Amino acid sequence: MKPNPSKELLKGTLTTIILRLLSEKGKMYGYELAQCVKETTDGKVLIKEGSLYPALHKLEANGLIECEKVMIGKRVRKYYHLTPAGETATAKAINELLDFLNTIHHLITTEPIYGNT
Amino acid sequence: MKPNPSKELLKGTLTTIILRLLSEKGKMYGYELAQCVKETTDGKVLIKEGSLYPALHKLEANGLIECEKVMIGKRVRKYYHLTPAGETATAKAINELLDFLNTIHHLITTEPIYGNT
DNA sequence: ACAAATACATAGATTTACAATGTATTAAAT
DNA sequence: ATTTAATACATTGTAAATCTATGTATTTGT
């Protein structure tokens, strides 16, 4: 019924996570990205194919990542890496996300100032 | 073009924010909630009517909040407050959101462990 | 008198991610 | 040898969340 509790909360962060991991590891392929997120979050965040591949294709279409096809036996593996524009976008996206996390954290843990201005 | 930078990232948090503020202040009306969030986040998070009112109606339909109509002159003002079920849900929602914020923070700031397990 | 703020609300569009499904190769288990 | 699970790519259709735009009406400030 509720296998992925963070499902609804995850919205909007997927692209930033992908960019961040590519920035960290240099190059990764789709399946590897999903496994990496799964392991890093101890199974708490699961990126599904239906989210991952469209996200990668969109990032590629926007010129933020590029892919390099490598044959592993008879199987194609697509390694993605950041473009220069992607590196700039990554730094910006991470800063925005961290700022957002702080803002939300503040909003749900601190006494609101409204009412005594 | 980009008046609300947190727009896409905000998804999934609105309900929790509303519950949290009602828990904090006891009772609030819609417009007050929006103003409170705006002031608390220094304008970085803006809740629009098109998000706010459907969210409030949904919370009410789910039995987590109740409203009390108060006439201010000729104008109706709807004060919302948590039900007992709402108080339980609030605690849970805040914990889940904080856990999620930590998970995402960890994901975008820490060296991934994947690769050396 | 007029503009801005207050205060409610809905309809339609967009975005995001997921579930379900599909194809194919490779490794492991029986 | 055959089956199963894991690897690895992908698409289609669906559901949910939020926004934009719009609407109504009252109150306050100038």
Q: What is the pLDDT of residue B111?
A: 54
Q: Report which of A23, A27, A36, A3 is spatially closest to residue A97, judged by C-alpha positions.
A: A23
Q: What is the pLDDT of residue B113?
A: 44
State which residue of chain A sits closest to B92, comparing Cα positions.
A5
Cα–Cα dist A4/A11, whole Å = 13
Q: What is the pLDDT of residue B110?
A: 73
Q: What is the pLDDT of residue A1?
A: 36
Q: Which residue has the tokens 């975008």?
A: B108
State which residue of chain B sits closest to A97, comparing Cα positions.
B9
Q: What is the pLDDT of residue B3?
A: 43
Question: Using the beta-carbon criterion (under 8 Å), do A110 and B40 form an inter-chain contact?
Answer: yes
Structural domains in chain B plus CATH codes: 14-109 (1.10.10.10)
Q: Is B76 helix (H, G, I), strand (E, B) or coil?
A: strand
User: A94-104: per-residue pLDDT in tens?
Assistant: 999 999 999 99
B73, B58 contact by CB (below 8 A): no
Angstroms from B74 CA to nearest CA on chain A: 24
The spacing between the Cα labelled CA in A5 and the C1' in C17, in angstroms, equals 13
Residues in contact with A100: Cβ distance below 8 Å, sequence separation at least 6, in sequence order: B6, B9, B10
State which residue of chain B sits closest to A33, comparing Cα positions.
B114
Cα–Cα dist B110/A42, whole Å = 14
Q: Which residue has the tokens 């990232």?
A: B9
Task: Examine the pLDDT at A111 and tell me if it is beyond 60.
Answer: no
Question: Using the beta-carbon criterion (under 8 Å), do B40 and A113 form an inter-chain contact?
Answer: yes
Question: Using the beta-carbon criterion (under 8 Å), do A105 and B106 form an inter-chain contact?
Answer: no
A13, B104 contact by CB (below 8 A): yes
User: A20-79: per-residue pLDDT in tens?
Assistant: 999 999 999 999 999 999 999 999 999 999 999 999 999 999 999 999 999 988 889 999
- Nearest protein residue to the C1' atom of D7, measured from CA: A31
More confident residue, A70 or A10: A70
Cα–Cα dist B82/B66, whole Å = 6
Question: Using the beta-carbon criterion (under 8 Å), do B108 and A98 form an inter-chain contact?
Answer: yes
Q: What is the pLDDT of residue B5?
A: 52
The partner residue sitting opposite A13, judged by closest CB among B94, B104, B106, is: B104
Q: What residue ranges of chain B have pLDDT lower than 50? A: 1-3, 112-117
Q: Is A71 helix (H, G, I), strand (E, B) or coil?
A: strand
Span between the terminal Cα atoms of chain B, in Å: 44
Task: Examine the pLDDT at A5 and tell me if it is beyond 70.
Answer: no
Cross-strand bridge partners of residue A77: A70
**In whole angstroms, how far apart are CA B78 and each of A116, B9, B81?**
22, 29, 10
Strand D nucleotides, any atom under 7 Å to a protein CB: 7-13, 16-23, 25-28
* Count of Cβ atoms closer than 10 Å to residue A84 Cβ: 9
Residues in contact with B31: Cβ distance below 8 Å, sequence separation at least 6, in sequence order: none
In this complex, the answer to whether residue A75 has its CB under 7 A from any atom of chain C, a nucleic strand, is yes
Indicate the pairing of strand B27-29 with strand B75-82. Answer: antiparallel
Q: What is the pLDDT of residue A24?
A: 94
* Count of Cβ atoms closer than 10 Å to residue A86 Cβ: 22
Question: Using the beta-carbon criterion (under 8 Å), do B101 and A97 form an inter-chain contact?
Answer: no
